[in-house]
Structure 1
Amino acid sequence: MLTCTATIDPAFTIAPVPPRLFGSFIEHMGRCVYGGVYEPGHPEADVDGLRADVIKLTRELGVSAVRYPGGNFVSGYRWEDGVGPVGDRPVTLDLAWRSLEPNTFGLNEFMSWARQTDIEPIMAVNLGTRGVEDACNLLEYTNFPGGTRYSDLRIAHGVRDPHNIKTWCLGNEMDGPWQVGQKTGTEYGRLAAETAKAMRRIDPSIELVACGSSNERMPTFGSWEADVLDEAYDVVDYISLHAYFEQHGDDRTGFLASAQVMDTFIDGVVATCDHIAAKKRSRRKLKLSFDEWNLWYESRFAGQDNLEWARAPRLIEDEYTVEDAVVLGNLLMSLLRHSDRVDIACLAQLVNVIAPIRTEPDTGAWRQTIFYPFALTARHARGEVLRVEPTSPVLHSETLGDVAAVDVTATRDPETGQTTIFAVNRDDSQAATLRLAMAGEEHDIVEHVVLGGQDLLATNSKDAPRRVEPRSSTRHFVEGGGFSAELPPVSWTMIRTAPVRK
């Protein structure tokens, strides 16, 4: 059996847990909107067509913020087509996903859904086919009280009070050759900077996210961020990161260590941001918005150019395994470790499209395997992220070299003293013993749950929606000054402790 040791000390903190670290993403893509959050006529739909079962599971998932309406979709989107009387809205071509967009769900429907779901909206503007003027018009529509062309248009559409959307993404993946309106880093940086300055004149309280590279495999990764921030560093609050993970070839160990790739990716973007800050002699520390991340078996996707024009086609509705859930739980641990710089993160997407929630027209919504580590982390990662430096044996990966067999992170609520430990065993044959020393007060274990360790290819489905669920474990031993716990092979574990009251 492997052995990993670590010390949990409340004196060593990284940062408070950012509330928006547990965000998600809704794009007009596939069945995420139509047939996902919105399905008039479904038995679970309300009078506005919003599915109550999806709202219920979104709340259970613990989603704190949702980015909308894209994604690649936003780079060709006219927001005006999705407001006003539904009968007057046009059917349009979505060039991103070769779909027919009915526009029956738009900005105000999304905001109604957001209020019912109790999430913070994050809005993206079109900097692909449109630009400064359109972004300002949209902001005027959403945030200005009234007495102007677009604020009065909102009121005429039945929304008297402003939406007061505070976080805005300045376009999406503008370096991607698949993007409508692709730009160079300097071109985009200048456009983003001018858009930011104009939008702040309407509402100085907003936060703005500039586009980083579409992923770390882009040939311009690093130089793109530097070029964009050379132009926009002083007028934006965040730069975005996007990453999707899947197993490549037979390198299962590398896939299980995807969080290590995420760690390196984040550290690289932070280094670029700080380089530009030093170059500009700025004291600002730019934050990061990891506003697209998930597992995506992209190698199975034929590509959007091969799609037939259709309304709400079934696109990348990946079915996730127990093993996938272990990897996703570990990715959340990476985000927590970087909470001093990553302030926003959005699991992409929320429903049907590479999503934790699945739906079908003839049944209720159900939870995919990846739902559980996200929901448990969102619920119990409270207070401050602690600095944990585990000592672990190593495994060899064909793509990554040596990786830690066991990964550990922890959070602590200073008000209650409760500590939550998240641990992953990446070894596919051996269980691991996690030995934790707890500095300060003596602690008892109040909850110990495990996902994985068995049936690694099991999934949840329409016919077996509860086949995979986390299970309680008693495989732990409390000892003076700490405890030991067993981590099954290929497993994600959450252990909650509380101070012993004497």
Structure 2
Amino acid sequence: MHKATITLDPALRVGPVQRRTFGSFVEHLGRCVYTGIYEPGHPTADEDGFRRDVLELTRELGVSTVRYPGGNFVSGYRWEDGVGPRERRPVRRDLAWHVTETNEVGLDEFVRWARKAGVEPMMAVNLGTRGVLEALDVLEYANHPSGTSLSDQRIANGSPEPHGIRMWCLGNEMDGPWQVGHKTAREYGRLAAETARAMRMAQPDLELVACGSSHLSMPTFGAWEAAVLEETYEVVDYISLHAYYQEHDGDLASFLASAADMDAFIEAVVATADAVGARLRSPKRIQLSFDEWNVWYQSRWHDQGPPSDWPVAPRQLEDHYHAADAVVVGSLLISLLRHSDRVTAACQAQLVNVIAPIMTEPGGPAWRQTIFHPFAETARAATGQVLRTVPVSPSAATGRHGTVPLVDAVATHDAEHGRAAVFLVNRSTDTPATVEIDARALAPTGPARCRTLSDPDPYAANTAERPDRVAPRPNTEVHTEDGRVTVVVPPVSWSILELSTGG
């Protein structure tokens, strides 16, 4: 048994909980759209062909924002293909994933789905094979009320009200050689700045996201952000970050410490962005949009390779997650929350079937993967202010991420509604932890309640036949006395501890 201590103080605030932290991502990739959110012949399909079971799980997940339509897909996408009568929509090859896109679902359908799901749409524009004019066109189609060619086309296509999309990504992963239309930092930065200025001429209140590095280990990391922001600093609001994690070669300890890499990534981008702002003598602060993150076993994708016969909506990137994956997802959410002063938007990639918390079978059930639970619980319970929480814990060396504390945590406090939540992980692979939480400054009014996600087998997974094998369960080893809470958490675990407070 190892021991850790945490002190909660409502005066030590990071910043408000950002609801956009709990965003997700729907890309035209694999079965995310087709037989994911959309399956007209499914028993639960509504009048628009959307699966009601997936809509219900999306609401339960607590998703706030959904990024669309890519991802790599957007760098070759013609948005016009996905609007108007379905029978007239062209069928195209998608070079990003080497599949055939039918365009049965496009912008209008996605916005209709988003409204049913109660989420904010976040749109990406193609700056890989297209540019300023096409970005202006899709903005006019989506957001202008009426009286112009493209807004009237939207109305004729069955969407009389403007879509009102506020947040727009200026391309996707343009630093990546795998990207259709890959560019250098200066080439992309100039195009992104031109596009941003033009879009703001049409609608000044947009929130615009410039592409940052595709991941921390990109050879151009840092230099890319600096060059792009030197071009775009005054015309964008966000720089993006993308990161995926997986267990390598049976090194579970390093995998459980993945959030240390996310912390370093965020802090390096903040430092770079602020250095550019200082050189430009700008009072503005660029925010961070971590608009792709998750556990993704990319080695499986690379081993398999893309399909050779251009199929429609094949099974691609369908990782089946286990208990340890859920613990890592919970720890990545801890990292995002503790940086909520600068990370003010994030999207877990993706929502359904493709490296996703929700899985479906065509014509069959939908169920929650293990990673569904820490996301849903955190989205539900994290309200008010994020508190600066620094656990005092034993540390352990890892092969990939250096020495890390075995217990990691973050807390939120909602004084208005009298509640607090502590989200914590035990990264040890074999030893329980006793965690002592000093909550006296929050004036708790009753006993703490704790739920823990763990399994004797860290590789246990949920399936259609056993959809609830891995889920948070009540933790009975929690005790509250005189404002102090003690809880015992097992190895390889994620926990949520909730308190009623006096203010």
Write the distance in 2 (CA, Å) between the matches of 1:333 and 1:393: 18
- The alpha carbon displacement at 1:468 in A equals 1.7
1:34 is matched with 34
Contact kept, 8 Å, 1:97 with 1:307, in 2: the verdict is: no
1:473 is matched with 475
Write the distance in 2 (CA, Å) between the matches of 1:399 and 1:446: 35
Structure 1, residues 350-379: CA drift from partner, whole Å, max 9, x if none?
000000000001312100000000000000
2:241 is matched with 241
2:168 is matched with 168
1:315 is matched with 316
Contact kept, 8 Å, 1:445 with 1:495, in 2: the verdict is: no
Write the distance in 1 (CA, Å) between the matches of 2:390 and 2:455: 24
Write the distance in 2 (CA, Å) between the matches of 1:253 and 1:30: 31
Question: Aligned partner of 1:418: which letter?
Answer: R
Write the distance in 2 (CA, Å) between the matches of 1:107 and 1:284: 32
Write the distance in 1 (CA, Å) between the matches of 2:143 and 2:119: 17
Contact kept, 8 Å, 2:440 with 2:482, in 1: the verdict is: no
- The residue matched to 1:127 in structure 2 has which SS? coil
1:486 is matched with 488
1:218 is matched with 218
Structure 1's consecutive aligned runs of 4 or more residues displaced over 6 angstroms after TM superposition are: none
Write the distance in 2 (CA, Å) between the matches of 1:29 and 1:456: 29
1:451 is matched with 453
Write the distance in 2 (CA, Å) between the matches of 1:233 and 1:445: 48
1:110 is matched with 110
Write the distance in 1 (CA, Å) between the matches of 2:232 and 2:353: 35
Q: Which structure 2 residues correspond to residues 389-428 of structure 1 after superposition, within 5 A? A: 389-428=390-429
- The alpha carbon displacement at 1:134 in A equals 0.3
Write the distance in 1 (CA, Å) between the matches of 2:427 and 2:306: 37
- The alpha carbon displacement at 1:498 in A equals 0.8
- The alpha carbon displacement at 1:307 in A equals 4.2
1:439 is matched with 440
- The residue matched to 1:58 in structure 2 has which SS? helix
- The alpha carbon displacement at 1:145 in A equals 1.1
CA RMSD of aligned residues (A): 1.2
Question: Aligned partner of 2:392: which letter?
Answer: T
Aligned residues: 501
Contact kept, 8 Å, 1:259 with 1:331, in 2: the verdict is: yes
- The residue matched to 1:315 in structure 2 has which SS? coil
- The residue matched to 1:137 in structure 2 has which SS? helix
2:87 is matched with 87
- The alpha carbon displacement at 1:401 in A equals 2.1
Contact kept, 8 Å, 2:189 with 2:228, in 1: the verdict is: yes
Contact kept, 8 Å, 1:174 with 1:183, in 2: the verdict is: yes
- The alpha carbon displacement at 1:400 in A equals 1.9
Structure 1, residues 246-300: CA drift from partner, whole Å, max 9, x if none?
0122321110010111000000000000000001001111000000000000011
Contact kept, 8 Å, 2:448 with 2:478, in 1: the verdict is: no
| Identity, % of aligned positions | 57
2:334 is matched with 333
- The alpha carbon displacement at 1:327 in A equals 0.7
Question: Aligned partner of 2:495: which letter?
Answer: T
- The alpha carbon displacement at 1:471 in A equals 0.5
- The alpha carbon displacement at 1:380 in A equals 0.2
Q: Which structure 2 residues correspond to residues 250-329 of structure 1 after superposition, within 5 A? A: 250-302=250-302, 305=306, 307-329=308-330
Contact kept, 8 Å, 1:166 with 1:205, in 2: the verdict is: yes
- The alpha carbon displacement at 1:398 in A equals 1.4
Write the distance in 2 (CA, Å) between the matches of 1:19 and 1:399: 31
1:198 is matched with 198
Write the distance in 1 (CA, Å) between the matches of 2:340 and 2:422: 16
Write the distance in 2 (CA, Å) between the matches of 1:295 and 1:238: 23
2:85 counterpart of 1:68 = no
- The alpha carbon displacement at 1:467 in A equals 1.7
TM-score, structure 1 normalization:
0.98
TM-score, structure 2 normalization:
0.98
Q: Which structure 2 residues correspond to residues 333-372 of structure 1 after superposition, within 5 A? A: 333-372=334-373
- The alpha carbon displacement at 1:205 in A equals 1.2
Contact kept, 8 Å, 1:97 with 1:304, in 2: the verdict is: no
1:156 is matched with 156
- The alpha carbon displacement at 1:110 in A equals 0.2
Change in CA separation of 1:106 and 1:499 when aligned onto 2, cut-off 3 Å: same
Write the distance in 2 (CA, Å) between the matches of 1:143 and 1:412: 37
Structure 1, residues 126-185: CA drift from partner, whole Å, max 9, x if none?
000100000000000011111111111111112111111000000000010000000000
Question: Aligned partner of 2:409: which letter?
Answer: V
- The alpha carbon displacement at 1:446 in A equals 4.3
- The alpha carbon displacement at 1:310 in A equals 0.4
Write the distance in 1 (CA, Å) between the matches of 2:104 and 2:183: 30
Contact kept, 8 Å, 2:437 with 2:485, in 1: the verdict is: yes
